Every structure is written in C-alpha cells, then in structure tokens.
Structure 1
Amino acid sequence: MLFKGDIKAVRVFGKVPGTRAMLTISYNTQFPRDIPSLHGSLKSYVIIFSNDSGNELSGHGIGASVDAEQYAKDLIFLKTILSDLYRNSKSKPFLVAPGGFFNDPEWYAQLLEASGPNVLNALTHHIYNLGGGDDPNIADRIKDPNYLSGFADTFRAVQLTLQEHGPWSSAWVGEAGGVYNSGSPQRDSEKISSFLLDTSALLWHQLMGKGVLAIDINGSPFIKAYAHCRKSKSGVSLLLINFSKSATFNTTVHNDLNVDLAEKGIRKDGSFAHNLKRTVSWIGRRVSDGSPRREEYHLTAKDGDYLSRIMLLNGSPLQITESGDIPELRPVFPELITVGLKSM
C-alpha cells in the first residue's frame, strides 16, 4: 500500500511458503474491514493513495498463485468495501493489483475482463530483470544496453493487454530494483548501480520532475536518453547515459512535438503544453541579462572504473563534508545552446 503525505507503508502478504499451490480462498465479509490501513485516510494523520491487493500471486506465481476469476471476485468485493468506507471522504484511494510478474498475459487479460470497469485503477507488475543478487553476471548485464532494452517487450505486452482488455485501467510498476533477494552486496554501492546509488539518486531527486516526456533517440544503442520536466523550475531535464567506455557521442536535441495536438491529450487546462512551448526552446536557466544557460552535470566513476565506489560530479569526488553534510551538487555552464521548436 502506498501512502501520500506521511511516509508509511503497510503490506499484507498472501504468499504460502513451501511448494507451489493454487489458492482458491475468498475474502470473508469481515477480513478486509479489519485491516487498519484501509481506514488510514479516514484519520487525520495519514492519507492512503492506493491499496495494492496481493503480492506475486498472479500468473504462474512465486510458490503460489490465485486463479484470475477468483482474484477478480476478490477485487470487486474489496472495491465495494473501499467505496463504502470512503463514501463521505473527499480522498478516495485507488485499488491496484495484482503486484506480480507479468509472465502470463492471458491471466492478466482474464483478470481485467472479469473485474470489469471502475474496479482496478492500475495494473501493477514487478521488475527484477537482472536476476538474483548473488548472480556473478549482474555487472555484465548492467553494461549491456541490448540486454536492458530487451525488457521493453514486457512493457509493450502490458500496454497491449490494457488496450485490448482493460482500457479503463493504467500500468504501474509496483516493485523494481534490478535484482531480487534484497539487491546485490557486490554492486549496490558501486557506480554501476546507476540511479540506485545514493549520489546518483540525490541528483535525480534534485533535477528530474514528475512530468515524463516522450523521447526518441536514433543512433548507437550504447547511448540512452530520458527527458523529464525540470523539478521546481521551468525547463527540461535531459538525461544521457553512455554505455561505452571508449566511444563519445555528439548529440543534437530538437523538439518534434506537435504541441497543438498534444494539448488535447496532455492536460485539459493546457498548462503543461503552454509551459512546454515556453521552455522547450531553451534548456537550463536564465541569468540576470535574460540569456539562457544550460546546466550540465557529468557523473563518472573514479579512474574510469565502473566498479568504483567513488562517484565524480564534473570531475570532483562526491563525498560528505567535514561536518557530515551532503555535498552541494553544482552544475557547470557550457556555451549557449538554443533548441528551436520543430512542428511535424
């Protein structure tokens, strides 16, 4: 269960240890009402944003699974209880499920069709595509852009399943960590761990807003690109990842978005598209004379060793200060760049 407001999390597990089994137990009429966390939004101290029903009991399951028809009946029943509990509340939590691996598209399709519209707000699935934490080949998989891109097929399958069997719902990643079994002790503290490493995560938190922009990149598979709205400021944050130790890339950025069409589908008030029109023509921030400046943050490993535990930001080691504080993450300002709007 995910909470908005006070940071709290409560999980109700349904796994059965031991041999694989098919569970056919239904909710009784009282059990869900007895879960304290379902009442959280009715109290003043916490707001529940969503309730995730189940944990890896979908499809083939992990040790045990629940039939899709039975799962759907339980979701309908739980939705009824949530609607009753929150009938007088302005804040109504989402119901999301099943929180498992997308290893059986037919099972997910059956779940959506059997539960029907207005029940499941989001279809949740888990991602641990790098294998177990004790696998000695984890580093090689992280370095291989083709291996990482292969998981896109799963996202396409989820999207197609929703389009055909549950267009009223949306896709959520309920859990993700690269490797299962609580991470990898050999890799989690190294530069190769990417945004899961504390220093990378801090920079992501500082720059990357919640608005995710569609982006397409042509060229070598060894360069990946992601774009978000700038956090707390006008602008766009563009993340470029170079998977090659020997190659450098020259990149050209341009907007290929038909803003007039996008305004109809992005947000009804048009504010996002308006801000996009206003900010996409430059990246970074404006200085006192009104000219745009581009901020750059270059994260590299010490001595070029991707297994290093020391991260460099623009060539300087990221280390805590003498007083034990987090260092300031400062950009460099290269020469002026202007990105013009280009209509389709």
Structure 2
Amino acid sequence: MGSQIWLLGLCFWMCVFSFISVSSKALVGDGTVFIDGKAAIGRIDDDFVCATLDWWPPEKCDYGTCSWGHASLLNLDLGNNILLNAIKAFSPLKLRLGGTLQDKVIYDTPDDQQPCVPFANKSSEMFGFTQGCLPMNRWDELNTLFEKAGAKIIFGLNALYGRSIHSDGSAVGAWNYTNAESLIRYTVGKNFTIHGWELGNELSGNGVGTRVAADQYALDTVALQRIVQNIYKEIEPKPIIIAPGGFFDANWFKEFLNKTSKSLDVVTHHIYNLGPGVDQHLVEKILDPSYLDGEANTFRSLHNIVRSSETSAVAWVGEAGGAYNSGHNLVTNAFVFSFWYLDQLGMASSYDTKTYCRQTLIGGNYGLLNTTTFEPNPDYYSALLWHRLMGNNVLSTSFSGTKKIRAYAHCAKHSKGFTLLLINLDNSTTIQVKVAFNRTSSSRHKHKFHRKHIRLPQGYKSENDREEYHLTAKDGNLHSQTMLLNGKILTVNSSGDIPPLEPLYANSSSPISVAPFSIVFAHIPNVVPPACR
C-alpha cells in the first residue's frame, strides 16, 4: 500500500513538473521579411546618425526633476575621455549645437558691445531663462574638441535677434544678423570648420514660445545664405544652409520651401511624437506598432512637399528626443528606447531623410551618454551599430507574420550584400524570420509584394555566413541602462574606450531568430540585390 501511495505521489509530481516545463517554454512563431532589392526607395548620408548638444543650464528642471547637470555647451567637461572616444567612434559624428535657448544666446565676439552674462533662471521670461552668452574662449575650446574628435558641426544661430514679440505670440520684424555674422567671421578667422549654419529653433508653424511667419523666415534664410557666401567666398567647401529646425506644419513648410528654393540646402524638422516626458504610458506607446506607424504621416507629407517643390533642399530630422521636456528617466535613456529610436531611423530613411539628429548626445533624460558618468546608454550602441552596418541605399521592406516585428533593410555599408534590422516588440514570442526577395516591383512605401519570391540560396560556404548582432536588455529588464550584444555586456573599459561590437556568425540558409524584446542587425554579404551593386 505504501509503495502504491509513493508511486501515486511520484506520478503527481512528475505531471506537475511536466506541466511547468511545457508551460515555461518560450513561444515560437515564424514570419518572412520581403525585400524589393531592384531599386533604392531612399538614400541616406554616410553620416546619417547625428546627435545634439544643448544650451540648458543645471537649473533646467521638468516635473520636479533637474536632469541636465553639467551637460550644456557652456559647462560640459570637454576633457572627458569617454566623451572624446564616443564621438570618435563614429568617424565622423554630426553634432547639431542648439536647442530651445539658442534663440536667446548672444555671441561675445570682439564686435559685440554687450556684457557677456550667463543664463539666469527667471520664470517670467520666455522658456524660464534670461538671455545667455557664448564666450569666445568657450567657442575655441569646443572647436578644439570637435576637431580632435573628427565631428561635423551644425551650429544653430539665434533667429530672434532684433525681432519683437507681439501679444499674440508672434515674433515680427526682420532678423538682425549682425551678431551672427560676427560669429561666422570669427569662426572663419580661427579656421574652425563648420559643416552647416542653421537658422533658429522651433519657430515654424505655431512655434514653441513664439513663431515667425514663413515669408519672413524665408527672407531671413536668404540673408543668411548671402552672408555665408560672402564670408566663405575664398573657401571650399562652403557650409550648408539649414532651416527652420521646427515642428512640421505642411502649409508653413510648403511656403517656406517655395520661397527659399535657391538658398536652402537642408530643411529640418523636429520629432517628439511620444508626448511629454511625464507621461506614464511612454512604454506602452513605444511597444505599440500602430502608434509607431503614426509618425510615417509626417515623413510622407514632408517628402511629398520637398519632391513637388522647386527646392534642391533635402530633409533632415534636426532634433528628436521622442518625449519632450527632457524625456523620462529609465525610459528614454534605457534599453526600451532603442525600439523607438531604431524604428525612427528605419522609418525616416525609407522616406529619403538624409540625416537624423538625436536629442541628445549628452544631457536630459534622453542622452546617448549618461549625463553624470558619460557611460554610453543603450541607444549609443544602437546608433553606432546602425552607423557601421546600414549603408546609403534604402530597400523597400515588409514583414509577413506578427505585427510585432519591425523590419528595415539597407545595402550594407562599405561591404557586399545588405543589412537587415529586425525589432521584436513581443514580450514572449521568439520569431524565426526567413528572408525573401520580391520578384516584381512594389509601390513606394506601400510594400505590396507579388506572392512569388526568390528565397535565399541554400548551402552557403562558411565564409559566406551572415553576421548577426543581437541586442537585449540586462536581465530582460526593459528599463535597464545596460545593453547586451550577443549576450555580453557592453561597457567602456578603465581607459574609457568604446568596446568592440563583434558579431555572431550563422548559416545564411537558416532563419534569423529574433528573441522576445530584442533587436537584431543581420548583415548578409552573399546576396547582393541590384540596388546594391
């Protein structure tokens, strides 16, 4: 009798353990990414990845949190070795210098007669701060770092200088460019290299704080272009002219582009589509494919306006932090934000956006680098992998299967074949992804594919294996600020060196396995689409 009870007990526990084992197995699904490789649907700059440096002083606080510390252009530790190495790793990294307070900055050039007074907190002032100043010795120090790091600099000029702000919130009158012209002359006299001069910050459309009408902004942009042409008349290449650095407003941008067709090189817009940093639903939005898809409307509309205009200007995202008012700690500076960030890079590219500037390199709660330690946050490594793997030509891509997979493909960078970016927003299902090529053409961005397709050839030799870079959060925690590459923690060493980003190798005939809440870059060198030849 005792032995029978023992056997029944054993059977019971075996059944329990069997149930636990079965129920704990990760779910597995499959799907196919279709790539139309006949022609590129867009083309990005070699230095597509860009980051910003801002003007906010330590007193800048949002919702009771002060997240800027000493990350301003005016107080950043320019001698930090991690900062230098982080910029150098891109060779080059575009840096856009600007932000909300740029339209309140005076340049303390030898021609300027005003006292050089720093920003001071004052709630009655626009943006909560008084007018600030850029000392020329600080400008010299910044340019020394930029030259050493090999950065390409875009400087945002004060576009409100000389205007008056009316009671209706509009800024009227012509731009007084004398102080900006003095800075440009000083910069040329010092042989500092500037890639582009940008006019103003968030003054387009309804503006932020204030606004400038499109026709007046166009006149001011024409004036900037003439100043640059005159000062750089003996210098080649000349800096590019960039504007307006504001939020997209279709009618405003259309008028502005039509009136700057011969003066403007780059039209810039800003993206904060997740709402305020205080929003408690940021992660839900980031993990919602439908919400992510919404920003395509902005890219599509601007792309169509640029194409239908007589302008020769190209589109950039000049600033994008996702969540405005400095982001949200442990969201916009954590692993989960790479889902939003890389999806943005992929989406922007597919609409022929040439450059994408992330707010910020350092500062606030959305920096690529930690504001205090300078240690790279997860998005830094996402950006660096994109920069090294995703080439100029953008391929039309769609995914058949779960809606939780985001898929983008480019010709490989400085290498044969193409690179595929896969983002899995599902929390429990591993997706086995097959790659197929469309045999017929597809309509632009709609990704409609013929049922017949060419599968990747079988039986590749080992030297033709694909390279895979699997990105995951430490301990599976989406709020972690530590990223793993192929299971290994990414961190700088004691000398502040950026770690090597080394791939795994997989047989090209096998599906790509994309784990739950993970990101995969896959470089497939032995298939070269026509668009990549």
Q: TM-score range with shorter-chain normalisation?
A: 0.7 to 0.9
Q: Match for residue 30 of structure 2? A: none
User: CA 1:109 to 1:136, structure 2 compared with 1: closer, same or farther past 3 Å?
Assistant: same
Cα shift at 1:156 = 0.6
Give secondary structure in 1 for the equivalent of 2:317.
strand
Give the counterpart of 2:433 among 251, 262, 277: 251
Deviation per residue, 1:13-72 (Å, 9 max, x gap): 4469997611112134634422x146535643x211111111111011112101111111
Deviations 1:165-221 (A, max 9, x none): 344221111101111122211313421021557244225414334524223113233
Alignment gaps of 5+ in structure 2: 1-94, 98-145, 342-367, 369-375, 442-455, 510-523
Letter in 1 for 2:285: R
SS in 2 for 1:64: coil
**2:352 paired with 1:205:** no
In structure 2, the partner of 1:264 is none
CA distance in 2, matches of 1:224, 1:255: 17
Corresponding residue number in structure 2 for 1:114: 259
Aligned partners of 1:293, 1:166: CA distance in 2, in Å? 46
CA distance in 1, matches of 2:267, 2:309: 12
Whole-angstrom distance in 2 between the partners of 1:343 and 1:88: 41
SS at match of 2:255: helix
Q: What is the TM-score normalised by the length of structure 1?
A: 0.78
Q: How does 1:215-294 map to 2 (within 5 A)?
A: 215-219=396-400, 220-231=402-413, 233-256=415-438, 291-294=463-466
Residue 81 of structure 2 is matched in structure 1 by none
Specify the SS of the correspondent of 1:106. Answer: helix
Given that residues 155 and 198 in structure 2 are in contact (C-alpha distance below 8 angstroms), is that contact kept between their aligned partners in structure 1? no
Indicate conservation of the 8 Å contact 1:2/1:48, yes or no: no
- 1:304 maps to 2:452: no
Equivalent position of 2:187 in the other structure: 40
Equivalents in 2 of 1:9, 1:62: separation in Å? 21
- Shift in alpha-carbon separation, 1:200–1:55, aligned structure 2, 3 A: closer
1:225 offset after TM fit, Å?
1.8
Amino acid at match of 1:246: S
In the alignment, which residue of structure 1 is the partner of 2:67? Answer: none
Structure 2 counterpart SS, 1:108: helix
In structure 1, the residue matched to 2:322 is 178
How well do the aligned residues superpose, as a CA RMSD in angstroms? Answer: 3.4
Q: What per-residue deviation string (whole Å, max 9, x for no partner) do you get for residues 103-162 of structure 1?
A: x211111112223x2211111100111112221111111111110111000001101111
Equivalent AA in structure 1 for residue 277 of structure 2: G
Count of residue pairs the alignment pairs up: 314
Aligned counterpart in structure 2 of residue 60 of structure 1, from 206, 212, 222: 206
Going from structure 1 to structure 2, the CA distance change for 1:140 and 1:290 (only over 3 Å counts) comes to closer
Conserved? CA contact 2:242–2:264, under 8 Å = yes
- Alpha-carbon separation, structure 2, partners of 1:41 and 1:210: 33
Structure 1: runs of 5 or more not aligned: 260-280
What is residue 87 of structure 1 aligned with on the other side?
A: 233
Overall identity of the aligned pairs, in %: 34
Paired residues of 1:42 and 1:89 also in contact (CA < 8 A): no
Of residues 122, 134, 138, the one that matches 2:282 is: 138
Partner of 1:47, secondary structure, is coil
Specify the code of the residue in structure 2 equivalent to 1:208. L
Higher-RCO chain (CA-CA 8 Å, sequence separation at least 6): 2
Structure 1 counterpart SS, 2:479: coil
Structure 1 window deviating more from structure 2 (72-81 vs 308-317): it is 308-317
- Paired residue secondary structure (2:422): strand
TM-score by length of 2: 0.52
Q: Distance in 2 between matches of 1:105 and 1:150?
A: 16
Distance 1:342 1:38, change over 3 A: same
